[in-house]
Amino acid sequence: MNRRPPQIVAFGGGGFSMEAGNGLLDDFVLGLTGVERPKVCFLPSASGDADHYIVRFYRAFSPARCQPSHISLFRRDTGAGFGGDVTGHLLAQDLIYVGGGSLISLMGVWRAHGLDEVLRECWLRGVVLCGLSAGSLCWFSEAVTAFHGPPQRVRGLGLLPYSNCVHYDGEPARRDGYHRFLGEGMTAGYAAGDGAALHFHGEALAGVVSSRPSAEAYWVAAVGGEVSEMAQQVHWLGRSRTLTAA
């Protein structure tokens, strides 16, 4: 029986598609499975199942280190590594990795195919869920997306009862939009910069890890009409690797 707790790792930005040659975040989520060659399924829905994105996934998650597969919802060919039973395949995974792109498109196609409920069941069963950008925003009750232009409020899956903002250090318009939405009543939540990843056990933040020594993450809330940011302690994964090598 799978005894892993429900876990989500929400990258503010990073992983194989943003940090070529820096596998710290990808190694971290693989390690959370506790399996020598974990089953890893990539969901590139937010990119419209872009071919180049899928190819990059298979290069980063090779059969030498895991059992990779992907599911395409925008294509007649639903993907590789399974017999077309999307629900059964997802429930059998150790790790589900969601790519970046359009959060609005991702949520629309997931809800149309019923993946919102399937992913909730995966989470409850201990399948590790992770992703960057749209693949981070999707797990929260509310999110700030700016893929289609100015920042917008979007409803996520609600597995985590907070709001979320990604690319917090590199896109000032997102930060400004997040503060404005919080002032208008948006649920308080977490902001993460590129390289920072929020690690949740159940609904509680267990810690923040990073692939860059300067990455930052914050708890952000509107208090008394003013928006406040509380910096979170961040553990740089490269420090652990350096100590081990020494």
Return the pLDDT at 82.
Answer: 62
Assign 148 a pLDDT band (cuts: 50, 70, 90): confident
Is 121 part of a structural domain of the chain?
yes
Is 194 part of a structural domain of the chain?
yes
Q: pLDDT digit string (tens) for 193-214?
A: 999 999 999 999 999 999 999 9
Is 1 part of a structural domain of the chain?
no
3-state secondary structure of 14: coil
Of the listed ranges 26-30, 81-85, 132-136, 180-184, the one predicted with least confidence: 81-85
Sheet holding 226-231, edge to edge: 152-155, 140-145, 160-165, 189-192, 217-223, 226-231
The domain in which residue 133 lies consists of 7-245
* End-to-end CA separation in angstroms for the chain: 37
3-state secondary structure of 48: coil
246 pLDDT higher than 50 = no
Domain count, the chain: 1
d(CA 9, CA 195): 12
70, 89, 167, 179: the active-site residue: 167
Beta bridge partners of 166: none
d(CA 25, CA 139): 18
Is 2 part of a structural domain of the chain?
no
Is 30 part of a structural domain of the chain?
yes
CATH of the domain at 100: 3.40.50.880
Is 83 part of a structural domain of the chain?
yes
133 is catalytic: yes
Assign 85 a pLDDT band (cuts: 50, 70, 90): confident
Is 146 part of a structural domain of the chain?
yes
Q: pLDDT digit string (tens) for 129-138?
A: 999 999 999 9
Q: Which single residue is written with the structure tokens 């506790």?
A: 34
3-state secondary structure of 137: helix
Cβ-based neighbour number of residue 222 at 10 Å: 17
Of the listed ranges 43-52, 55-64, 65-74, 82-91, the one predicted with least confidence: 82-91
45, 133, 163, 211: the active-site residue: 133
